[in-house]
Amino acid sequence: MKKPLFAAAFLCLAATYAQTAEELKAQIAPKKDSIAAIQGRVNALQAQLDGLPGWKIGAFGTIGGSLSNFNNWFAQGIPNNNSGNIGFTVNAFTNLQQEKFFWRNATNINLNWVKLDDKDDPTDDDGFRESTDVFNISSLYGRKLSEKFAVSGLAEYRTTLLSNFNDPGYLDLGVGATWTPITDLVVVIHPLNYNFVFSDEDTIFNSSLGAKIVADYTKQIGAVSFKSNLSMFQSYEDGDLSNWTWTNSFAYTLWKVIGVGFDFGLRSNKQETLNYIVNNAPTPDPDATFDTIDNELQTYWTLGLSYSF
């Protein structure tokens, strides 16, 4: 007699739980719709705020690092070693928006150091060495023809900071048009641009006249900040003098100003590739030319803690 009663009670309890769960799910759905609607209104207000005249200043970055120490760890090739990896990126901007003109300034820095100290080899390098070295600063001024189009002038400089500063260094100066289809996207098209290249190796690096195209998208949505920048130069004199760089930064805030960040970049530059093969490769090839080398794609990425300013 007890078993049928227990089974009936269990079925009633399960039915009650199922009914309660369905009721709660039914109540959650419209609340999600309400949250989405509220967020949509907040995003619209933020877009209006971003479009107001005046200065807009901001920055976010990523910090990544690790340290390790091994003693008698014979399963690996170097059983006694100290190793480490430390790096950071900074993306900063100062933008002025006015009724008839705009002035946009941006800086991107990505630096990284690594070390591998073999404690059994007293002749090896036991210090940190630079592994990623990126510095880019740009200034764009535009005189508005309409809300979305402007005649503009751009100055962009990029080089390395930790080693070989300004060797090579690139300075682009040009004029043309800028298109801003939405608040956070800027597309620069400058058919008249001169790419100044500074280097001690003047037989490889050469300045030239060409076209400059830049596309930059910077956005913050709630706890997520991201920036994507594509900078291209197409030489009118020789395709081997053309180059492009695409950098991307993402940061997700977990607590106050601390979060998780990820950065990656791609670059194509045949002059840098040839210079490496001729002068800096483990087995240099002094007879290499633009025609005999492959233009290897350059890449980097950094994952670590992020800090929002």
Digit-coded pLDDT (tens) for 265-283 = 999 999 999 999 999 888 9
The pLDDT value recorded for residue 11 is: 57
Domain range list for the chain: 1-50, 53-308
Task: Using the predicted structure, report yes or no on whether residue 25 has a pLDDT greater than 70.
Answer: no
Distances (CA, A) of 150 to 36, 47, 94, 117, 145: 35, 20, 19, 54, 5
Measured distance CA(28)–CA(34) in Å, rounded: 10
Res. 309 pLDDT band, cuts 50 70 90: low
* CATH architecture of residue range(s) 53-308: Beta Barrel (2.40)
The pLDDT value recorded for residue 199 is: 92
H/E stretch holding 14 reads helix 2-50
- The sign of the dihedral angle between the CA atoms of 191, 231, 276, 296 is negative
* Site of tokens 């705009």: 102
H/E stretch holding 39 reads helix 2-50
The pLDDT value recorded for residue 13 is: 56
pTM given for the model: 0.77
If we measure between CA atoms, which residue out of 162, 157, 245 comes closest to residue 197?
157
If we measure between CA atoms, which residue out of 267, 239, 289, 302 comes closest to residue 160?
267
The pLDDT value recorded for residue 84 is: 87
